[in-house]
Amino acid sequence: MISLVVNAIVIKNFEYANNVLSILKFPIEEELNEEQWGILINYILELNDMSLLQKVLPYSKLSKSDYLSALYFLNHSMGNHLEAFKNYSDISHLHAQLYNDHKYGVARTHTSKNLENEANLFKYKTYGYDEEKYWNGQNISGKTLLVLTEAGYGDEIIYLNFIRPLLSICNVVVACSESIKDIVKRCFNVSISSYTTPVEHDYWIDIFSLPIRLNINKPDTSPYLISDKNITYQLPNDKPLIGMRWHGDTPRSIISPLSYLESSFVSFGNLVSLHKEVISDFPVETPKKMLEFEYKNWDDTLAMLDRCDFVITNETSVSVMSAALGKHTIVIAPKRPYMCWSNKPWFKNVHVFPQHKIGDWIGCIDDASNYVRYCIERKI
């Protein structure tokens, strides 16, 4: 029976796959190969059916990395964030061993943007990251701790939350993407380093490992970003200002149709695009009812976010920045939201509306629109 599900997923007969999954019998005795298990588990993850995942995962025969990845999402969805952080740390260390056989591995730092190939990603020792200085919980009072941010801009902002407990303990230096350095300096009052030529430090740590080292299961939900008040915009003030972000790097994050998104919110206020890119260059619909501004950098975007009364956004860096500013953030998400939006969001004043079914944005746009109408009518 389980092989029938996999075959249905491959040929995109999702209705049949869902019907069979709904009557799946346990224990699972049918044999699948690693690739088939990967297809099945990834599909269950996309369905965001964590109850089913919890039942199926023990029978799976996945690679160690894929198994840890599934466990990571499962633990986050159940609110077991600390266990999920440990899963991710295990994944990054496993990847590090594949490339360099080092004891510690930086998961996906932005050094990859400055190196010629991915194999060099984990060769941090070349750039002065001595594994003897890796922070494993030693007393760092009065010491200098170098924190290396990782992955994309959104993940950098999400995990910068975890440096806050360190600021009263030690001298924190952050190595982050060039384009957010000014934001990090302003918001956390820390020194900035580069990845490839790190400043002098007593210890270093990859930022994804911070919650493990600090034993944090529930993130601090209070705002921690501050916009540059010197950046101003001439904006109408006759109605609520509603910032909108709908396009992303993958089809999974592109909210469509755009015309429906616009028409669902335009009666509530003045719509303003939060896209840095030139909108006419998008290979999708162009907005008809939004104000447009030129954003030269992330500080420009942050300043506009701070002016908004509501931010309607997909799962991108903009959603994280809005939430970290403490803005009234409405995330229109895929069927399986990103980990910081699943279960209980990691930020105050955030409301997440996931797809009712994979690929269908209409239902969650309606949900978000009804919520904004409710807030405006009640002046929330």
255 in any annotated domain? yes
End-to-end CA distance of the chain: 50
* In a domain? residue 296: yes
Q: How far apart are the C-alpha atoms of 63 and 312, rounded to whole Å?
A: 38
- Decide which of 164, 196, 213 is a domain's last residue: 213
256 phi and psi, to 5 degrees? -150, 160
Whether 139 is in a domain gets the answer yes
Do 251 and 141 lie in a common domain? no
User: Quick one: 370 and 265 in the same domain?
Assistant: yes
Ramachandran quadrant class, 275 (left: phi over 0; alpha: psi -120 to 50; beta: rest): beta
Is 232 inside any structural domain? no
Same domain, 320 and 276: yes
pLDDT at site 309: 97
Convert 200-227 to b/e letters by CB count within 10 Å (16 or more is b): ebebbbbbbbbbbbbebeebebebbbeb
Q: Give 241-252 as a DSSP string.
A: EEEEE---SSGG
Residue 99 lies in a domain: no
- CATH code of the domain covering residue 260: 3.40.50.2000
Residue 206 belongs to domain with CATH number: 3.40.50
CA distances from 78 to 158, 232, 284, 336 (A): 19, 41, 36, 13
Name the domain count of the chain.
3
DSSP code string of 314-349: -SSHHHHHHHHHT--EEEEE-SS--TTTSSS-SSTT
CB-count burial class (<10 Å; 0-12, 13-18, 19+) for 35: exposed
Position 115 scores a pLDDT of 33
| DSSP-derived secondary structure letter, 167 | T
Task: Say what the pTM is.
Answer: 0.83
Same domain, 206 and 320: no
User: Tell me, what DSSP letter sits at residue 124?
Assistant: G
Last residue of a domain, one of 62, 92, 122: 92
pLDDT tens for the chain, 380 residues long, are: 789 999 999 998 889 999 999 998 889 888 899 999 999 999 998 888 889 999 999 999 998 888 998 998 888 888 888 898 888 878 776 766 655 433 334 433 333 333 333 333 443 444 557 778 889 889 999 999 999 888 788 889 999 999 999 999 999 999 988 899 999 999 999 999 887 778 889 999 888 889 999 998 888 999 999 999 999 999 999 999 999 999 877 777 889 899 999 999 999 999 999 987 644 445 566 778 899 998 999 999 999 999 999 999 999 899 999 999 999 999 999 988 888 887 667 898 999 999 998 889 999 999 999 999 999 998 87
Domain end (from 213, 230, 252) = 213
pLDDT at 125: 43
Instruction: Tokens for 109, please give them.
Output: 């730092």
The C-alpha atoms of residue 289 and residue 297 are separated, in whole angstroms, by 24
For tokens 């089809």, the residue is 251
Structural domain boundaries, residue 360: 241-377
Residue 198 CB-density burial (10 A; 0-12 exposed, 13-18 middle, 19+ buried) = middle
278 and 350 belong to one structural domain: yes
